[in-house]
């Protein structure tokens, strides 16, 4: 495909091209004290891949009946979610002052924070990243099933081709 010429920027009728590599502005979760906060990002596809890698997304197809069962939810633990989503914070621990933002402290934070606060932060991250929500609409489930059925057909064709060679 040949390179297309760029639209001159001085053309007021030219549509503005969007930077799909751009970074979204971080989302801030404020703690109840109104001073402490955590910034997290709207995750990109690479973040999603990092988060779900190693997750069990089980698919079972019963040969006799053709029935299919799936597990569609993400099961990533909070420390992994926070490590990927967090981009900064203003948090203190005891008399140590502001805790440096790094992977070790994010893991410590996830393991030692109040469950209600962690739940609230996780919910805020899910609101900014709807694909994290384990619940799916009937339409979404139907689309996922259709996609899996198409995948199944492709695998069957591939296996049939290997068997005949």
Mean predicted confidence (pLDDT) in 149-157: 91
Is 112 among the domain residues? yes
Is 50 among the domain residues? yes
pLDDT tens digits, 101-138: 999 999 999 988 899 999 999 999 988 988 887 666 78
Is 58 among the domain residues? yes
Specify the pLDDT at position 164.
79
Domain count, the chain: 1
Pairwise CA distance, residues 104 & 132, whole Å = 24
Which residues, in sequence order, are CB contacts of 131 under 8 Å at separation 6+?
48
Residue tagged 């099961």 (tokens): 75
Is 8 among the domain residues? no
The two tokens of residue 13 are: 């009728």
Pairwise CA distance, residues 67 & 15, whole Å = 49
Is 161 among the domain residues? no
First to last CA, the chain: 36
> Strands, E, within the chain: which ranges?
27-30, 37-40, 59-61, 68-70, 86-90
Is 42 among the domain residues? yes
Is 88 among the domain residues? yes
Please determine, for residue 71, whether its predicted confidence score (pLDDT) is greater than 60. Answer: no
Pairwise CA distance, residues 93 & 125, whole Å = 23
What range defines the domain where residue 98 resides?
27-134
Query: Which region among 89-98, 101-110, 137-146, 152-161 has the lowest average model confidence (pLDDT)?
Result: 137-146
């Amino acid at each position: 495909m040949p390179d297309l010429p760029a639209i001159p920027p001085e053309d007021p009728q030219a549509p503005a091209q969007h930077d799909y590599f751009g970074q979204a502005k971080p989302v801030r979760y404020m703690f109840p004290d109104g001073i402490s906060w955590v910034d997290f990002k709207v995750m990109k596809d690479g973040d999603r891949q990092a988060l779900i890698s190693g997750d069990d997304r089980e698919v079972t197809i019963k040969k006799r009946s053709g029935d299919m069962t799936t597990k569609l939810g993400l099961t990533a633990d909070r420390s992994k979610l926070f490590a990927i989503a967090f981009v900064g914070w203003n948090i203190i621990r005891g008399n140590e002052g502001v805790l440096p933002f790094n992977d070790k402290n994010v893991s410590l934070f996830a393991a030692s924070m109040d469950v209600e606060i962690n739940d609230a932060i996780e919910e805020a991250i899910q609101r900014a990243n709807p694909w994290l929500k384990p619940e799916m609409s009937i339409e979404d489930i139907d689309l996922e099933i259709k996609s899996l059925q198409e995948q199944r057909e492709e695998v069957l064709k591939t296996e049939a081709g290997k068997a005949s060679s």
